[in-house]
Amino acid sequence: MFSDRWNANIKLTRLDRLFGATLGKIIPTQLLPNHFTVLRMIMTPIVIYILHVGNYRIGVPLFLLAAYTDAIDGALARTRKQITEWGTLFDPIADKLLIGSTLFVIVLDHINYKLGLALLAVEVLIIGGSIYSKLKNNHVEPANFWGKLKMFAEVLGILLLLTSLWSGINLFVDLSNGVLAIALVAALTSVLWRIR
């Protein structure tokens, strides 16, 4: 079930160790990392609908919770040595569904349209590359540093925008644009890193 290829030589970060010593201890062993990936997939249409109708009071915390399941499934998989091939393929797809849907439904209306479209295009390119690699080589590469930075910057940028819509503080829109531009650079670097 768990891949020896990835679980044999896991290098834990400080954040992984902190997670393992805190939240990792209270998550029941019956809950696997892939359960959190599936939860994110299930939550995505609910989050998108609530944001689309403008209920930011509920939508913003739900978006944050859905995004946080990405950190949980990754840290849980590494600390418990439960990395699976399914997880390495579907975890990034779940991320891109959440982020891509939010970009499409909310972000394109409120930030630089070209930046939003560029982020969406890169997300589609990354998903396509992962599926192609799986079909051609029967192999999926786990996320690299640039991919993780991209995801963090996208979540932060979207969260800043949603906070602006929720609170009415326009300063957060400019900050969101800047952080999403960083996400785009990290995304492009991640793609170039994979094809080098």
Q: Which domain holds residue 50?
A: 4-195
Least confident of 28-32, 94-98, 103-107, 141-145: 141-145
Per-residue confidence (pLDDT) for residue 73, from 0 to 100: 93
Provide the angle, in degrees to the nearest 10, between the axes of the packed helices 33-52 and 85-102: 10
Number of neighbours of residue 190 by Cβ within 10 angstroms: 21
CATH number, residue 163: 1.20.120
CA distances from 23 to 18, 27, 107, 183, 193 (A): 8, 6, 31, 27, 32
- pTM, full prediction: 0.84
d(CA 178, CA 44) in angstroms, rounded, equals 24
- Residue for token pair 């390119």: 125
How many structural domains comprise the chain? 1
- Average confidence score pLDDT of the chain: 86
Confidence of residue 134 (pLDDT cuts 50, 70, 90): low
pLDDT digits (tens, 9 = 90+) for 74-93: 999 999 999 888 888 889 88
